[in-house]
Structure 1
């Protein structure tokens, strides 16, 4: 027996599972990513791929619960993108008001140009004065300015009509999106079977075993133990146990579609293959085969088994790949920073860091940032931004003070209510003192630091911990 291939499946064996009766399981990350794909890409997946695996698409109840919990925030992205086109305060988007303001400036400059030319003519018209010029010299430029002014007025009128038209169409699109329901959830409810929910007693029993597993870093789920509290920290382990139970009952092989690349699921040193412990536990428990892949790889594999007329085109693959590249992946340095931020927020604000958030394309944020979602003891949600200051010029300090305001403004427009904490982190005490000296020495920067809409805290790193320097809010 080839023990390596016994656990690490070849492409042919994976295709056999897809062709035959293997169970296809999606995790929460793969489901939520559907909201980020274009409408055409989603429809291709729904109509071309899902039907091939009819009666084999299955979701653990824990995955479905997490999907329902998070989908509303993710689903708001298309509406946000339309709204951003009309938002004059959105420095990254706001293209419609930018167009109007630019044309208005051109029209004003054209009128000013006409005034300057008139003044020049009046200054040079009298023969008894110097400077004096023959007036016919002005005729060509006079005519050109008149033509420009006339054309500018006509163009400005067209832009005004365009603004009215596009604003109406965008508002109609937003209204249409808000009234058409949730097609993705409809597809999931229609195409997927949902597993039986674990009882509270089962969850607590799994958590007891989970403590031992997490101490020994036995996958999956141990990467969540510092970020989550209570039973939440065992969410991935609940998913895994549901998969094991279902595969044992059905006697089927399983392919898990996931975009989770944390080390408690994939072996980053071995071409991102599933952790060996997962393969071994699944085989020992079910006597069947288990494999994992991301959505893009799943679609490429599916193309080899579905009918040629239903194959997914390359543009869909590119769309899926682009979305996956936008999602945050935690490096070793990220993990160190998250640990420091988690300890600080837990100690100072009783906030448990839940997960790393992707940077939304609507946010105008600069510099070295990590953005986290958190939850406090009251159940209130937080957005926590850790900004590592690397330069001390005016622009860099300005960004350190305004990044979280950008994110807050975007969420406010969506009606999302969070508490906001911005941790401005320096590499040492001397750098932190230098940062605060520059902030307090400039009236505008000092005013931004004191802004009450977000909590600003200046800290420095030492021996893997964060230490307090200054803040615009009461501590503790």
Structure 2
């Protein structure tokens, strides 16, 4: 942007100041213009250096390493197959009667493969709930559960306000464990914990946690529910960033293995004039849509438009994206998923 503006300013100043060259011969118009250009170029150099210094977490993720250390030896033991089968049957019966938690995920697609067992994602919340109660019984301890899941199979709402955990959950927990159960959304927990430990979290920090929690909770819907994802995403876009935002999914078909770091570096060269962000959804999964390619990778591109937004700009960026990838990648087919 600064490079573009520098050219515009130089052209404008040369035109508007040209009449002063004869009137004020001692005034160096060229020197004035050069100083303006030099100031802008200095800013550009500083920004380029900041870009170089910015951590590339896909190559050396110190945050992930710290989180891994925090969770070391703090994750519960998984259930064996027999117990998982029992819980799956229990969940099905409870979901039919809309007994919390988890019944809102009854239609969720997908599965996870863990420790040799296939676990359907729709049973995840119920399995978690049983593990929490097992832990409380084993350790004879009260539980504080922090979750960004805001569905009504966990929370009781009244007139749009969150009242607290579903009464069925409190009753079941107390009955089976003889302990107390507390549940918080992340931003609420931060406020309460801040009061207890005299830690002042800024409003910006709490707002950021709230937005990240919301986005991380809703984002995987694309992977699980296919086309249903985009309508949800559209609502999220308007809620968080206003109407001048659009996002689309790029599906790459390729034979060569593409590392996440390579894909990240590739997207940094996008010729976008507007602010944008890129997220890797999947990379190098076996190709299901094309017999000519071995792998598929999905990227999500979100573009934040300024006040000069005009109808049709999203189509322009889609075409630009297709052109860019086809130019940068050999033996690759690019597809825009609506």
Retained in 2: the 8 A contact 1:227–1:353?
no
Deviation, structure 1 residue 263 = 0.7
- TM superposition shift of 1:265: 0.7
Is contact 2:109-2:121 (8 Å) kept? Answer: yes
Once the two structures are superposed, residues 195-214 of structure 1 have per-residue CA deviations (whole angstroms, 9 ceiling, x without a partner) of 11122332222111111111
Quote the Cα distance in structure 2 between the aligned partners of 1:262 and 1:419.
27
CA contact (8 A) 2:136 2:177 kept: yes
DSSP-derived class of the 2:144 partner: strand
From 279, 285, 302, give the equivalent of 1:411. 279
SS at match of 2:205: helix
Q: CA deviation at 1:229?
A: 3.5
Question: Higher relative contact order by CA 8 Å / sep ≥ 6: 1 or 2?
Answer: 1
TM-score, normalised to structure 1, is: 0.45
Residue number in structure 2 paired with 1:91: none
- Identify the structure with the greater helix proportion: 1
User: Alpha-carbon deviation of 1:245?
Assistant: 0.8
- 1:62 maps to what in 2? none
State how far apart, in whole Å, the 2-side matches of 1:107 and 1:284 are.
Answer: 76
In structure 2, C-alpha distance between the alignment counterparts of 1:159 and 1:367, rounded to whole Å:
28
Alignment partner of 1:165 is 2:46:
yes
Q: Check whether the contact 1:266–1:273 (CA below 8 A) recurs between aligned residues.
A: yes
Q: Give me the CA root mean square deviation.
A: 4.6
Tell me the TM-score normalised to structure 2 length.
Answer: 0.61
| Structure 1 position 259, deviation (Å) | 2.1
Alignment gaps of 5+ in structure 2: 112-119, 250-273, 285-296, 302-310, 323-333
Cα 1:186–1:99 change in 2 (3 A) is: same
Match among 130, 134, 150 for residue 31 of structure 2:
150
Secondary structure at the aligned position of 2:109 is classed as coil
SS at match of 1:179: coil
Work out the number of aligned pairs and report it. 262
In 2, Cα distance between the equivalents of 1:160 and 1:206?
Answer: 64
Mapping 1:12-27, distance limit 5 Å: none
Gaps of 5+ in 1: 1-97, 119-137, 346-350, 373-405, 422-438, 457-476
- Asked whether 1:201 is paired with 2:87, we answer no
Q: How far does residue 323 in structure 1 lie from its aligned partner after superposition?
A: 2.8
**What pairs up with 1:70-469 in 2 under 5 angstroms?**
98-115=1-18, 139-140=23-24, 146-175=27-56, 178-179=59-60, 181=62, 182-189=64-71, 193-230=74-111, 231-269=120-158, 271-306=162-197, 311-315=198-202, 318-325=204-211, 327-328=213-214, 342=225, 345=226, 366=243, 410-411=278-279, 417-418=297-298, 453-456=335-338
Larger Rg: 1
Query: Counterpart in 2 of 1:30?
Result: none
* Cα distance in 1 between the residues matched to 2:236 and 2:207: 16
User: Which has a greater percent of strand?
Assistant: 2
In the alignment, the residues of structure 2 paired with residue 161 and residue 295 of structure 1 have an alpha-carbon distance, to the nearest angstrom, of 42
Deviation at 1:247, TM superposition (A): 0.8
Which string of whole-angstrom CA distances, capped at 9 and with x for unpartnered residues, describes residues 364-415 of structure 1? Answer: 883698999xxxxxxxxxxxxxxxxxxxxxxxxxxxxxxxxx9997237998
Structure 2 CA distance for partners of 1:219 and 1:101, relative to 1, 3 Å = same
CA gap of 1:359–1:101, structure 2 versus 1, over 3 A, is farther
Cα distance in 1 for partners of 2:299, 2:145 equals 35
Distance 1:445 1:259 in 2: 31
Change (3 A) 1:176 1:325: closer
CA contact 2:146–2:185 (8 Å) conserved in 1:
yes
1:248 and 1:216 mapped to 2: Cα distance?
Answer: 26
